[in-house]
Structure formats: structure tokens, C-alpha cells
Chains A and B, each alone.
Chain A
Amino acid sequence: EVQLLESGGGLVQPGGSLRLSCAASGFTFSSYAMTWVRQAPGKGLEWVSIIKSSGGDIGYADSVKGRFTSSRDDSKNTLDLQMNDLRVEDTAVYYCAKGRGDNSVFDYWGQGTLVTVS
């Protein structure tokens, strides 16, 4: 069974940093793209970042480029999101999700972790 478990969310002041992690199990982690998608309270979905298998291709939304860094550790089956220079508008539930292949169809999602910047 595929499982994705996010951690690391919490309350942080503007300008601060936070590191989110996503622990994956139930599939061959190294073979799949992984992504972060966020959802501000009461709002829609916003794509944040994607990292393809082997980490050779990483992409970011313009809203986080230069502030957020996505990485993966295929030996530990973990996906991380380092978030620096956080802004009030970064407040959201952050989901990690698995690609259906090494692509941008997201077939399994974690339950999310809440980041509050205030």
C-alpha cells in the first residue's frame, strides 16, 4: 500500500525557515517523480515543486523560486522541502504527492502538513 506522510509543518514568523519532509513507502520511491502542492485556507490547489526520479530535473513555481529547495533521498525514501524567507502568503497545507510515473500525474497524496507564517 502506498503511503506518504508529511511532517515538519508549524508556526513560523515572516522571514523564517522551515523544512518539510515526506516519508514514502509501498512503492519503489526512486522510480517516480514527487511533487509538493499547497492549499491556502479555503483556497484552491497551487503547485509548488516537482522533482523527477534521480533528482536530475527539478522545477519550481515562480512564487517560491529562489526561496524553496526540493530534494530527495532515494536511500531513505524521503522527499524534503526547505523553505526559506517565508512570507505570510506561504501559509497553507502542504501536500506531497507521487507521480503516476516519472511525470506530473499525481496518483497518491499525503494528508498534508500545515504551515502558518505569522
Chain B
Amino acid sequence: EIVLTQSPATLSLSPGERATLSCRASQSVSTYLVWYQQKPGQAPRLLIYDASNRATGIPARFSGSGSGTDFTLTISSLEPEDFAVYYCQQRSNRPITFGQGTRLEIK
């Protein structure tokens, strides 16, 4: 099973700042890495697929990068609605696995 480790567990930033979230895989997943955003009481929302492709309707301030075992989700300038929990997911091998999440909170 491929283990995804997200860091940091919690990130405290202010609106307008840049956020950098990390996801590290225990073995290579090529670029089969997906990012989701989840707000309290809501279902997850697809942000980025295959490491760097923004999903439909996702603002350009969200970007993804990486390949192999190291991936980054960057939010260039935080908006108030961006404070949420972010999960990475690999679809390279079964079982499909998720990271434990990074909570992005307002400083």
C-alpha cells in the first residue's frame, strides 16, 4: 500500500499570503496524484488532478506540481474561502490511498 504523508498537519496563514502544502508518497506514483479541498460539513471538492491539472472551475490561484514521490499544492494568494482541509490522493496503485490531510487555518 502506498502511504501518503502530508505536511504540515496544520498551516496558519493570513488572507493574501501564499500557502504551500506538501504530499510525499512512500513510493513513486508518477504524476497520478490528486488534490481535494474539504470544508466542514461538506463533501470534498476536486482541485487538481494528475499532479498539475486544475479541475473545471478551480481558480488559477491554485496550482499543483511534482512527480514521483514529492508533490506540492500552492495557493498563490489566500482568499477567506480557502481556509479548509486539503487532502492528496494517489491513483497509481490499488488500494487507492489518501493523505491524512493538512488543515489550513486563519492566523
Contact = CB atoms under 8 A, between A and B. Distances in A.
Interface string A12-54: 0000000000000000000000010100000011110010000
Contact of A100 (B42, B49, B96): B49
A105 B44 contact: no
A110 interface: yes
B98 A47 contact: yes
Interface residues of B, number: 24
B50 A105 contact: yes
Interface stretch (B63-71, B74-82, B87-95): B87-95
A75 B80 CA distance: 43
B49 A62 contact: no
A44 B50 contact: no
Contacts of A35: 96
B30 interface: no
The bracket for how many chain A residues form the interface is: 20 to 34
A59 interface: yes
A106 B98 contact: no
B97 A47 contact: yes
A103 interface: yes
Nearest to B85: A44
A88 interface: no
A61 B43 contact: no
Contacts of B95: 47, 59-62
Contacts of B55: 100, 107
